[in-house]
Amino acid sequence: MVTRTLFTRFVVEMEVDATGRLRPRPNTLWWSEPAIGEAGIHRRLAKLNRASDDRIAAFASTYGPLRFAAAPLLGIPGPRLREVTFALGQGMLGDLDRVRVWLATGSHGRPPHEVRVVLALVELLQNLSEPTRRAVTLMVGGAPEAEVESAAGSASQDPAAFFGDGLRRMPPLSEVSRPIDVERLRWGLDVLEWLGRAIGGLEEVSWPSVADLGGPAEMFRSLLANLPEALGHPELAGEKSAAAAAMFDALATESVTDWRVIANQVDGWVVAADLVRLAQSEGLTPREKARLCDVYEGLTAPKLGVALSSAELAERAKPLLQARLEGELERGGARPVRRGIVLGLYWRALAGLWRELEDRPLPRRCATPSCGAMVPTTRNRRYCTTCQGERSRARVAALRARGGKLRDGLSLP
């Protein structure tokens, strides 16, 4: 299945609170995993339109949140996203420079505001679990991706607990001063420096998974859109960040009512796709044809002015349904799709329905961040033909400059 190689999901054990909102169970961990076992996931989601609260919670615990509200973040055009994240990362580097200047001049007196912010972030990093700290240390040191993943393990800290509990334990920003433990300070500054350079467009992250996602900016977007619980703490935010915290809290909010509404919507699209395929193969009963007519008129708005056969009706309805699904997938940043992308259940379900309707794989985007070309869907490749050729030429040139050898052992002329 395509989902074995294309999609990743974030999952946590869910429960329904007294208000009908789905929330992670206390003291449970988020984990990431390939989105396998999702053949027909759109059909299974569609059947939840009348499901009990417990069944919805169990489904969400297995397949992750819908993340239907993440479309505003997922749909930001790539160039605009890179501009924003580059500015964010380089702004962080400017703050780190000010911290180092303050430290180098003796760190006398009360630290300036931007210095206190950075020192607070360094303290917050101390709350990472030991496996995560080891993995981060390896990452900053340039270790291969497999080594970092092995150190971190598959389960990550609950982002809501990490940021929420960490912020609660931190002293007010006005009281933050230079940490006594110099080694902790140095480690935290190195981590923030690496992060600032990576998202600021100054550090190439050569990991295959990051390249597949389209670079650090796309990975940053993916984390914000798929783990908004990490930043959704309006009660803990300062005045300047309260609006952003409230936005992330809203992105994280999914109720069982929301799930039933989305399931009902997906059910309608599944029925429409089934009727189209049936009309093109076996034909429709009068009742099925009347239902397909309703589907067609729902997609076009005006009433049909002439009588059409079932096959003719399906011929007209299919491209309209296809365009509707593609519009939704593009709104969620899921078409064309990048290999390894983290997508919420809603978008993965629509992708599954599109594949079923079209009977072909989703179009994939080249892994080069600035390239919008498509990768052949029948090949296990990350880059389009043009970028693949440029990368090969660059590799040969680099090897020639170093007097290296090709893979077959032949020396370069």
pLDDT per residue as tens, the chain (413 positions): 333 457 889 898 999 999 999 998 887 878 878 898 998 999 999 999 999 999 999 999 999 999 999 888 888 888 888 899 999 899 989 989 988 888 888 776 677 777 777 877 887 787 787 888 888 888 888 888 889 888 877 555 555 556 555 555 555 555 555 555 677 888 889 999 999 999 898 887 778 778 777 788 888 888 888 888 776 655 545 555 667 777 788 888 999 999 999 999 999 999 999 999 999 888 899 999 999 988 888 887 667 767 889 999 999 999 999 999 999 998 887 888 877 788 899 999 999 999 999 988 888 888 777 777 878 665 567 788 888 888 888 877 777 777 655 444 444 34
pTM of this prediction exceeds 0.85: no
pLDDT for residue 43: 97
pLDDT for residue 156: 52
Provide the 8-state DSSP code for 190.
H
Sorted by sequence, the CB contacts under 8 Å of residue 323 that are 6+ apart come out as none
pLDDT for residue 5: 52
Counts for the chain of helices (H) and strands (E), in that order: 18, 8
Strands (E), 198-351: 341-342
The C-alpha R_g of the chain, in whole angstroms, comes to 25
Opening angle at CA 14, ends 223 and 51, nearest 5: 115
Are the C-beta atoms of 237 and 117 separated by less than 8 Å?
Answer: no
Q: Which amino acid is at 8?
A: T
Beta strands 30-34 and 7-11 are antiparallel
pLDDT for residue 32: 79
Give me the count of residues in the chain.
Answer: 413
To which residue do tokens 């080249």 refer? 366
pLDDT for residue 413: 41
CA diameter of the chain: 86
To which residue do tokens 């397949």 refer? 63
Write out the two tokens for 153: 């393990």
- Residue whose C-alpha is closest to residue 31's, from 11, 60, 13: 11
Q: How far apart are CA 400 and CA 381, in angstroms?
A: 25
| Residues β-bridged to residue 21 | 255
- CA torsion 10→16→22→24, rounded to 10°? -40
CA of residue 285 relative to chain centroid, distance: 43
Q: What are the DSSP calls for 377-410, one per residue?
A: TTS--SS-HHHHHHHHHHHHHHHHHHT-B-TTSP
Write out the two tokens for 364: 């994939």
Would you tell me how many other CB atoms lie within 10 Å of the CB of residue 149? 16
pLDDT for residue 4: 40
Write out the two tokens for 31: 């984990």
